[in-house]
A and B are shown apart, each in its own frame.
Chain A
Amino acid sequence: MAGASPPILTLSQITKSFPGVRALDGVDLDVLPGEVHCLLGQNGAGKSTLIKVVSGAHRPDGGEIRWLGEPVRLGSPSAATRLGIATIYQELDLVEGLSVAENVHLGHETSTAGFLRRGAATAATARLLARLGHPEIAPDRLVGTLPAAGRQIVSMARALSHEVRLIVMDEPSAVLDPDEVANLFRIIEGLTAEGVAVVYISHRLEEIRRIGDRVTVLKDGRAVARGLPAGATPTREIVALMTGREADAAFPERPAAPGPAAGPAADPVLRVEGLARRGEFEPLDLTLRPGEIVGLAGLVGSGRSEILETIYGARRPTAGRVLVDGRPLRPGNVAAAVRAGLGLAPEERKAQGLFLLDSVARNVSVASLGRFARGGWLDRSAERAAARARARELSLRPDNPDAPVRTLSGGNQQKAVLARWLLRGCRVLLLDEPTRGVDVGARAELYALVRRLAAEGVAVLLVSSEIPEVLGLADRVLVLREGRVVHAADARELNEHRVLDLVMEGSPA
């Protein structure tokens, strides 16, 4: 796809600092017309800052940006838009209370003398959606009622509503199901055939192999490798570039035999009996023994997160009950579940799991405050010391309990959430997409940690969109489709294709 044509966008020696952080330390990047240029790097490597420089959201401190060979200043997002640069952010920036058409034309509404021309906007939106392979999305539908994949399409339509020559996509596949990813790739191929350049960011190496032309690897604010062939570069080499070390088997060895506390002999710690929520998932039975890891595999919308949250009491079931050590939990009561020994690492880490303004120590101790309090009075040094000890145990970096948690990378933020439940001494850990937005190196650490907790007798219920993750970690796997368990088996008896088939078709044949 990439011809001998000159680059459409060239960045040279871009630097950008924030107080205390040098986010970009002289980055070079060149993007050719019609290519898919993949940007790889661990969290904190500078990817987000770099794309914000390209989209005009951040002004670089130093360096040069050339557009079609001419030096330009991208002083604002609208300046970038005028040049033909569109960005689809990881956290989709759509207005939920507006319709699809209104979102697509937000900021450049078609109007006559200040009055909106709704008909024209609707027609234009319908054309864009059809071009994106989704003519079924009605332009007058409220964006708030669309599923994640639909919103992604709307974001894409918004990008294409401008005269666009370069699209930046920040982890577009993170919220998508496999078939939606396939559709995304079809769209990208259509765009590149028209000569549009795509800067594609993803943590998933297999996607980069499928769609990418060239790869630039960022590490610590520098480009450590530029323009590698996406198809031919060995995974080992890419991972080594990202982490600075050779990454081998990400999944720790499965223990040969379950520990003394675990195994079929032990009494189940968690028992779910006929638990259901109308419209979300059908009656579910499940037992979890100490030391056991059970995986829930299924597509987005198959009811996975809903099941976890209902077990945890964050949603009230319409039928069934949850028992811990044989005693039923009060339905719809998180505090009761936590007291009984449950802990949840939620899917949306920042929105549901963390107090971003607070320090690491406070984020870790928040579920165990009672332990450090006498009559409501907090022993803050004991609290901080205990939180720090747990954070160290998980080698959370930086090793500073006072660091604001929002400055941590995704993997370390997840460790802060896990440290919270470790400190609480939880016995049933519910993990919802534990490695979303977590880089390769930190993933391996998290996998090892989950295994270690299980070996110590913690029961783990794991939800993940990444089938290899479920198969690699779990002892037992329940495959979900449209709110129903369609298959349950030992993880060793399943493989990725089989689970995919089950997830898509639901037929155990």
Chain B
Amino acid sequence: MPKGRPIESIIMTITLKNVSFSYTDSLYDAVIKDLNLEIRSGECVILAGESGCGKTTISKLINGLIPLYQSGTMSGDVLLGDKNTADMTLAEISRYVGSVFQNPRSQFFNIDTDSEIAFGCENLGMDPEEIRERVNRVVKEFHIEHLAGRNIFHLSGGEKQKIACASVSATDPEIFVLDEPSANLDLKSVADLAEIVARWKKAGKTVVVVEHRIHYLRDIADRICYVKEGRIAYEWTPAELEAKGAEYAASLGLRCVNLKQLNEMGDARLRGHDKKGVIAGEAKQSLNEILVFYDLHFAYNRKFPILDIPTLTLPWGQITALIGHNGAGKSTLAQVLCGLCGAWRQKRKVRKYGAYLIMQDVNHQLFTESVLEEVLLGMDPPNEKAALEILVGLNLEQYAYEHPMALSGGQKQRVAIGSGVSSGRDIVVFDEPTSGLDYRQMLAVSATLQKLAASGKTLLVITHDPEFILNCCSNIIRMEHGKIAEQYPLQGNQEKLVQEMTTFSFDCLG
């Protein structure tokens, strides 16, 4: 086996020729149907589309996981340069193609960051001296000196994703394939990610990104391929798509191309409500009805409190968004409100009238064998009729006897909400309910949340998604360093919100 990297910067075009693929035995129900796509060397291409349209499958075709890892039926050819991926091994492909995946928690293999960045190079059998050089260079390039030599399990999602990018970058492949890399990141980390992609493109690398959040790649991408039912349905440059307006993108299930456009959208929505006089009117009168919490404190070390909030007020029966940087104490606040951490006395108090948490990974909170049982579990005393009513309210009645794990992501989330409703707690806290969702799914979640609020629950939503806030929240709380920095109603402040959320991402770019 040759030592080091055999090929100096080569032209490598990705060609997909009449490719069809199905995860089952026959091509009859193919995910990819007769796809033709050519990505030239040095191009940055976004594969967009609604969930389940086959865009992730295309990325797997490029990095060789199909047909070499995933079982299924395939026809057609995928060529990297002039080599067919079907004739190569995954180890061979990994020399040319570097992949970054969606979930930051499950794509590192080492426990410490340095070994992780070196991992790919070690597998290629490079000289240890050269690997050390490359690791140092990559660490400098990515500005991650502060992450060197740390335990990866102690890093945040954004930091883990940066390490994953750095690790792939260290082997210096020609092609980068990113599968929804921003799904679990906050806006600041997304801006850092944009910077990384820009650096790769500048170095002449080919970058393929599967995404429905397009805004951060607006100035970097050469073209956007819209995938629908396993084919490329449309192709635009980012400017072309932006010119078509936010509504056009939304109608295709895409998230907005330019966060600045959000202003108009939020205005339109609130004006719409004004006409109906529903939410806006309610917001005015019910501002007096509030829930107040006192003395929310938490600290691992007395000198450095993580959470220090003397009073927290939540408007009754409304949706409040909780925003702020990673590490501002948002999750800790949620956990204290739910009685999951804090002093024994606090926990005891919360057990009676605390909040119910819907976790980001809802798989963690579904225990039982049927959806109905799941809702009955928290009830005291169990009442099947009431449980079925809750399910009807969440459009889950036809799944009442199915296994929760067999449902789709959105349905699972609704089951978790159902279990929260049945627990009888008045406050429901959501931890990033819209991360990684396309526009349509996001709207569905907003609708569910609005319905829940209308039924008299008070909602607190931790989120990094400005589009979602404009869609359904009525109040904003911004946290900073474990304290509440400001709290304001959304109405009349949309511009301020978008400004706040976007400028802080541009700050980090500069």
A, B bound: no
What is the interface of chain A, defined by CB distance below 8 A to chain B? none
